[in-house]
Amino acid sequence: MNRRRFGLAAALTALTLAATGCGDGGTDTASGPATIKVTSFGCEIWNTWAEAKGVFAKHDLKVELVKSTGGSAAVAAVLSGAADLGYVNGFSAINAYNTGFPIEMVAGANTNATPPAKPAQGVFVGTNSPLKSAKDLAGKTIAVNELNGLNQIVTSTWLKQNGVDVSGVRFVALPFSDQVPALLSGKVDAAQLGYSLLGDNNDKVRSLADPFATAGTVYIATYVASKAFVAKGDTASRFHDAMVETMDALGKPENTDESFALLSACNKVPADVLKAQPQNALSPSVDLAALNGMADQMVEQKIMPKKPDLDAFVPEFARS
C-alpha cells in the first residue's frame, strides 16, 4: 500500500472542501438545544434509536444527519465546517490526525465482532460464484467503500495472511449501497462490507470469510470533531454521553425488537431480515490501547512512518 498516496488523498480532499466554507460547529441557543450536523452512511441503528426515543433531545441536542461516503470525506466535512461531527473509521481518523489535521475523537461507535461472536463483516461473492477462498481472489476486483480505507486495509492484511499477492488485486471504491448490485451484475468479483449493509440480499451472496476476525480490536466506526468544536462548550461531550446511553439501551435484549423495527422503518428493509444479520460490537467510548494497536498496524503496513501520540487525540470524556 502506498503510504504517501493514502495520506495525500485525504489531505487534498479535506483542503478542497475546506476552501468551500468554514465554521466551528453546532449552534447553542437560549431557546433550544444545540443543533449539530453529523455525517452518516444512512440509518445507523444508534441514530434511529436516539432520535426516536428522545435521547438526543434529553442531552440538549438536535442532530441533522449529513450523507457521507467514507472516512476521508467525513474528515473533510468536519474541517470545512460542512459538518460538526464526522462518522469515520479508526484508521482514517488516526491517519488524518497524524497528517496534522486539528481533530479529536469524541466517541466510538462500532468495534469488530471477534470470535466467538458471529462474524459481522464479510468478503462477499455471488451465491453461484466459483470463488471459494482468499487464494481465489488473486488478480480479482474487490469493491470497498473507499480506497486505502478501513476495509481495504483489513482485507489486504487478510489476503496477505492467506498467501495472496495484494499487488495483483484491484480495489475499486463504491458506496456501500452500490456494492452488492455491482457484485451481482459482474462488475466486481467480490465486495467487502458488513452483513448489516446487505439489505435484503442475504440469499444472493455468501461470504468467503470475515477479514476482521483475526485483526484484533478495530474501531470500525468512530466520531471525530475539530478541536475548535470540542473546545466550544460541552456539545461534544453531550453527544458522547448520548451515544453511551443509546448503546446501553441497544444492548438490552428487551429493546431488540423495537430497535430493529425502527431501523427497518428507516432503511425500508424488513425487521426480521435486519435482526438476522450479525452485528458489530457497540463501543461508544474509546479504548486507547486498542487505538494504539491500530496505529501499530498502520506503521507495519507503511501507511505511517511512525506511531503518533494518541493521548491528545482522545479527550478524557470520550475514553473508556
Grade residue 147 by pLDDT with cuts at 50, 70 and 90.
Answer: confident
Distance CA 55, CA 46 (A): 10
Q: What is the pTM of this model?
A: 0.79
Q: What is the CATH number of domain 3-112+217-318?
A: 3.40.190.10
The domain spans of the chain are 3-112+217-318, 121-214
Hey, what's the cell of 104?
Answer: 479529536
Q: Show Cβ contacts of residue 167 under 8 Å, excluding neighbours closer than 6 positions.
A: none
How much is the average pLDDT of 15-26?
43
Question: If pLDDT is split at 50, 70 and 90, which confidence band does 32 have?
Answer: low
Q: Is the pLDDT of residue 235 over 50?
A: yes
Q: Which of 243, 259, 280 is nearest to 52 (CA)?
A: 259
Same fold, 3-112+217-318 and 121-214: yes
Per-residue DSSP letter, 102:
-
**Among the listed ranges 25-34, 149-158, 241-250, 283-292, which one has the minimum average pLDDT value?**
25-34
Q: What is the CATH number of domain 121-214?
A: 3.40.190.10
Average pLDDT of every residue of the chain: 89
d(CA 205, CA 203): 6
CB 226 within 8 A of CB 74: no
Section 275-300 average pLDDT:
90
Please return the burial class of 276, using the count of CB atoms within 10 Å of its CB with bins 0-12, 13-18 and 19+. Answer: exposed
* 236: three-class secondary structure by DSSP: helix
In angstroms, what CA-CA distances link 149 with 69, 155, 208, 281? Answer: 11, 10, 20, 20
What pLDDT is attached to residue 255? 97
